[in-house]
Structure 1
Amino acid sequence: MKAVHLFLAFFRVGILGYGGGPASIPLVHKEVVDKYKWMNDEEFSDVLALANTLPGPIATKLAGYIGYRVQGLRGMLNATLAVMGPTIVLMIVLLTSISSIKDQAWVQGMTEAVVPVVGVMLAVLTWQFLKKSKSGLGWTVTLVMAVVTGLLMEVAGIHPGIIIAALLIGAIFKKDEKEGDAQ
């Protein structure tokens, strides 16, 4: 039954994740954390942070890791194929006919209408992560880190993966300091 749930969870992500990887993240979170409870919010945050540092599509990386965690190698293949399958089929079907319908008003309207929906989904996920950060770090540190990170990415042009890697290294050193102080 786990294999069926794993396939269905990531198939829904693959079929409904219109707009690419960022649009898929809230869908994966809903399936993995809220519906099936394969992970909690903290574990999902950690996996998401690590997945963002690696090259490739985020939905595929999340499916691969979560599938492996839930059901080993078979789960990894199951979840990865489930998330990629709808895209492969839709790409083949749509690309063969897209040139004839791309100028239709309903196609352009559908594309424009999905942007605010994806924006709201990402905003909700961001708010959930901010609340979680507040409980661990407090509002002041969370807001300072959010502002500094935003400036580093948008003004300085630093890749998010580099920032995440630096924060992970900083956290490792901070943990080592705490362990050294405790001894």
Structure 2
Amino acid sequence: MKQWHIFIAFFRSGMLGYGGGPSSIPLVHKEVVERFKWLTDDEFSDVLALGNTLPGPINTKMAGYIGYRVGGVLGMLNAIFASIMPTILLMIVILTTLTQFKDNPVIQGMTKAVVPVVGVMLAVLTWDFFKNSKKGLGLLPAIILVVASLLLIEMLGLHPGILIGVLLAAAFFKKDKQPEKGGESA
């Protein structure tokens, strides 16, 4: 019965949480704190804070942790499946519908209208990343990194995932060359 309750709790929040993670958080809270009492308010706040520090959809991360805590590995898998199943079903319906009407001029116009919007959104995101890297690295290293990345991806055909992985590993293993503050005194 516990696995069924885990499924229902996260299926409801996944199904009713229209608008992404922020809209599903209150629904998850209602299920796991108020209805099933698996967590206290403080524990839920801790899970939410931890989930916000990790990449990915917040509802899925919270489902995985809470499902594991309540029902072990099976509970984790159950909760994750329940939280993503509504989205999967909706995508199947939407893609099937769009495929049936792909030759319709209205659908083709809608598809063409989305491309520039996505392009602008990606350009804004790229500019924000560049501004943040400029603050962290400095202007010249940020420009060098952008140009080198562009050349590696466009000229040499390097997959962006490989470049991102290498840069993350380099950042992780980079040694801080500044001396520790509050070190030895004379």
Does TM-score exceed 0.5, indicating one fold?
yes
Q: Which consecutive unaligned segments of at least 5 residues does structure 1 have?
A: 15-35, 48-61
Give 1:80 shift: 6.7
Q: Aligned equivalents of 2:138 and 2:15: distance in 1?
A: 37
Equivalenced residues, count: 138
C-alpha distance 168-85 of structure 1, shift in aligned 2 (>3 A): same
C-alpha distance 147-13 of structure 1, shift in aligned 2 (>3 A): farther
Give 1:173 shift: 3.4
CA-atom RMSD in angstroms:
4.0
Deviation digits for residues 113-135 of structure 1, max 9, x if unmatched?
Answer: 11111111111211111111111
8 Å CA contact retained: 2:15, 2:86 = no
- Whichever of the two has the greater Rg, that structure is 2
- TM-score under structure 2 normalisation? 0.55
Question: What does residue 72 of structure 1 align with?
Answer: 65
Name whichever structure is richer in helix by fraction.
1
Give 1:81 shift: 5.1
Secondary structure of the 1:178 match is coil
Question: What does residue 167 of structure 2 align with?
Answer: 167
Give 1:102 shift: 2.1
8 Å CA contact retained: 2:63, 2:79 = no
Percent of aligned pairs with the same amino acid: 37
**Structure ranking higher on relative contact order (CA contacts 8 Å, 6+ apart):** 1
Question: What does residue 123 of structure 1 align with?
Answer: 123
Question: What does residue 73 of structure 2 align with?
Answer: none
Deviation digits for residues 114-169 of structure 1, max 9, x if unmatched?
Answer: 11111111112111111111110011111110110111111111112221222223
Which residue identity lines up with residue 120 of structure 1 in the other structure?
V
- TM-score under structure 1 normalisation? 0.55
Q: Aligned equivalents of 1:143 and 1:10: distance in 2?
A: 40
8 Å CA contact retained: 1:10, 1:83 = no
Give 1:67 shift: 3.5
Q: Aligned equivalents of 1:97 and 1:125: distance in 2?
A: 28
Q: Aligned equivalents of 2:98 and 2:165: distance in 1?
A: 42
Counterparts in 2 of 1:87-102, with a 5 A limit?
Answer: 87-92=88-93, 94-95=95-96, 98-99=99-100, 101-102=101-102
Q: Which consecutive unaligned segments of at least 5 residues does structure 2 have?
A: 1-9, 22-47, 69-75
